[in-house]
């Protein structure tokens, strides 16, 4: 692993490898969204681990025990997300698609900021706080791919009792829940399988803002490494991924990713590639 933050030659070397990739996976975690003002669960100083008891807020059992309270917390959380804007890190990743058309963002974040920044192919490992589904999932109506019917916030307003908190499923009367992965739940099989396939097939992986400890997502850099991919890790501090990475770029993603993008654009221009 090569470690650097202000070493422009190191950034340029990483950019050269990334812009040459045919298939690039950008694997992102909560650290990327933190720079948009969205607190992380694991932040040592101001993360949600210290503000709330996450085992009450993000489990099926906690929701069933006090659904109105937990729904209110998610409403508050959604308000924070709605007020947030994509930061320079999100925007840089979206702009990289001009240089590497087969770029897929695989994220642990549930805030939708990558799509709002302009990324066109985003795999949301842990779901989305802007989607909702029936807690039971047992009613007959299902989407064509066999997954539970999903609702947007706008569609919730059209339910028979839009003032109910939490809302009730129009098919079975059960509780509506956020379409996110709670603690103790498995990831959607199709979603994680696609992420694994992308990791095995990529030429390069750019990791940003993830601690690399939450499974099964933490396996993605390992799979990419085994497949021979070039790995760049961007984080303020060394993490589990840094040990696997070819290059570790120390610093906030909102600072490092725009610099990496600029270097990639320079490399592309020198190579005669469209930018």
Which positions are catalytic?
126
Torsion sign across C-alpha atoms 59, 64, 70, 71 = positive
Nearest Cα neighbor of 104 from 188, 16, 198 is: 198
Q: Where are the alpha helices (DSSP H) in the chain?
A: 8-19, 30-34, 48-51, 54-57, 60-65, 67-83, 88-95, 113-117, 153-156, 189-201, 219-226, 253-270
As a whole number of angstroms, the distance between CA 128 and CA 103 comes to 20
Q: End-to-end distance of the chain based on CA atoms, in angstroms? A: 29
CB 96 within 8 A of CB 262: no
As a whole number of angstroms, the distance between CA 243 and CA 265 comes to 27
Question: Is residue 78 helix, strand or coil?
Answer: helix
Sheet holding 24-28, edge to edge: 2-4, 247-250, 230-235, 204-208, 24-28, 103-107, 122-124
């Amino acid at each position: 692993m090569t470690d650097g933050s202000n070493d422009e030659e190191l950034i340029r070397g990483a950019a050269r490898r990334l812009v040459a990739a045919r298939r690039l996976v950008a694997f992102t975690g909560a650290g990327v969204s933190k720079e948009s003002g969205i607190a992380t669960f694991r932040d040592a100083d101001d993360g949600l681990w210290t503000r709330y008891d996450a085992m009450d807020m993000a489990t099926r059992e906690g929701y069933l025990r006090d659904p109105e309270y937990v729904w209110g917390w998610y409403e508050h959380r959604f308000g924070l997300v709605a007020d947030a804007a994509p930061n320079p890190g999100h925007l840089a990743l979206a702009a990289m698609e001009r240089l590497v058309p087969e770029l897929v963002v695989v994220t642990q974040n549930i805030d939708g900021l990558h799509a709002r920044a302009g990324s066109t192919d985003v795999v949301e490992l842990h779901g989305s706080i802007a989607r909702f589904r029936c807690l039971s999932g047992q009613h007959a109506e299902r989407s064509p791919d066999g997954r539970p019917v999903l609702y947007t916030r706008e569609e919730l307003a059209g339910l028979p009792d839009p003032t109910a908190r939490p809302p009730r499923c129009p098919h079975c009367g059960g509780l509506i829940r956020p379409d996110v992965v709670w603690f103790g739940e498995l990831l959607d099989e199709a979603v994680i399988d696609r992420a694994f396939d992308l990791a095995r097939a990529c030429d390069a992986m750019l990791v940003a803002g993830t601690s690399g400890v939450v499974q099964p997502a933490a396996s993605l850099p390992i799979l990419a490494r085994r497949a021979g991919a070039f790995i760049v890790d961007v984080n303020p501090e060394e993490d589990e991924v840094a040990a696997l990475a070819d290059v570790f770029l120390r610093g906030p993603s909102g600072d490092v990713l725009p610099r990496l993008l600029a270097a990639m654009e320079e490399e592309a221009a020198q190579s005669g590639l469209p930018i």
